[in-house]
């Protein structure tokens, strides 16, 4: 089980959160939240993968992050001053989500304040990861930036198989967007990392051994 979802599901308020929520099964590429739309629900990703995308100033769509099981999303409009969705959330695979209206969630947190702490902790972690990635863009070599993105995703992905391999399903184009490079360059770096033994390929997926996550790229 994904460690983040395991932590959330152990929260004392999770059983009531589950009972008050609508459980939804979504197909790949289904839009869960439209940027700019009115907001009245919070979501929790139970399984699958979702992307966070934002329309840039010139109309180009920016890929900001991926969401993993255990991640809340759609939370910004819980706070004063935010009246519309700030980004588009789209499923990147077949997924399962819980959907709960804001009023029910706020009432629930009065009895289970630990749910607020979990939500705040996730917001702080996303900000930390985003700041880390943005600060690394100008100074790190593209290979290091790509490994940073892959390692971040791998740590949030449930292990597959007894060896603990992490299987990541993302396109070269999306990897390039997250790492600040072209799709072609992202593909070349992936091939270099495969030759160095840091990863392998399984069809269109990238497989990262758990043993590779603890070592810096320079050690390859």
What would the pLDDT profile of 150-167 be if each residue is shown by its tens digit? 998 988 887 776 688 999
Whether the CB-CB separation of 64 and 179 falls below 8 Å is answered with no
Copy the structure tokens of residue 71. 């991640």
Strands 159-160 and 165-168: antiparallel
Please, what's the b/e burial string for 80-118 (b: 16 or more CB within 10 A of its CB; e: otherwise)? eeeeebebbbbbbeebebbebeeeebeebbeebeebbeb
Residue 115's pLDDT is 95
What is the H or E stretch that residue 109 is in? helix 102-111
Other CB atoms within 10 A of residue 26 CB: 18
pLDDT of residue 103 exceeding 70, the answer is: yes
Sequence ranges of the domains in the chain:
3-135, 141-219
Class of domain 141-219: mainly alpha
Residue 129's pLDDT is 85
Q: Identify the band that residue 106 occupies on the pLDDT scale cut at 50, 70 and 90.
A: very high
- Domain 3-135: CATH architecture, name and number where available: Sandwich (2.60)
Query: What are residue 191's phi and psi, to 5 degrees?
Result: -65, -40
Q: Identify the band that residue 137 occupies on the pLDDT scale cut at 50, 70 and 90.
A: confident
Q: Identify the band that residue 44 occupies on the pLDDT scale cut at 50, 70 and 90.
A: very high
**Per-chain mean pLDDT for the chain:** 89
pLDDT of residue 214 exceeding 80, the answer is: no
Q: Identify the band that residue 219 occupies on the pLDDT scale cut at 50, 70 and 90.
A: very low
pLDDT in tens, 12-37: 999 999 999 999 999 999 999 999 89
pLDDT of residue 99 exceeding 70, the answer is: yes
> How many Å from the N-terminal Cα to the C-terminal Cα in the chain?
29
Residue 77's pLDDT is 85
Q: What is the percent of the chain with per-residue pLDDT over 90, rounded to a whole number?
A: 62
pLDDT of residue 71 exceeding 70, the answer is: yes
Q: What is the percent of the chain with per-residue pLDDT over 70, rounded to a whole number?
A: 93
Higher-confidence position of 170 and 42: 42
**23-27, 45-49, 212-216: the lowest-pLDDT one:** 212-216
């Amino acid at each position: 089980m994904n460690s983040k979802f395991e932590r959330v599901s152990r929260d004392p308020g999770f059983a009531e959160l589950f009972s008050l929520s609508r459980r939804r099964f979504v197909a790949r590429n289904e839009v869960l939240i439209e940027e700019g739309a009115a907001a009245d629900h919070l979501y929790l990703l139970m399984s699958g993968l979702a992307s966070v995308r934002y329309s840039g100033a010139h109309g180009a769509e920016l890929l900001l992050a991926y969401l993993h099981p255990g991640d809340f999303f759609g939370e910004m409009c819980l706070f004063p001053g935010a009246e519309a969705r700030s980004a588009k959330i789209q499923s990147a695979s077949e997924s399962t989500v819980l959907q709960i209206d804001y009023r029910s969630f706020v009432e629930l947190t009065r009895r289970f304040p630990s749910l607020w702490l979990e939500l705040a902790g996730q917001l702080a972690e996303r900000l930390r990861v985003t700041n880390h990635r943005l600060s690394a863009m100008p100074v790190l070599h593209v290979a290091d930036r790509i490994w940073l993105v892959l390692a971040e995703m791998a740590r949030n992905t449930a292990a597959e198989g007894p060896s603990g391999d992490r299987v990541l399903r993302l396109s070269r184009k999306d990897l390039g967007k997250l790492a600040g490079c072209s799709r072609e360059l992202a593909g070349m770096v992936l091939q270099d990392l495969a030759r160095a033994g840091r990863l392998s390929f399984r069809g269109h997926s990238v497989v990262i051994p758990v043993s590779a996550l603890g070592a810096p790229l320079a050690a390859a």
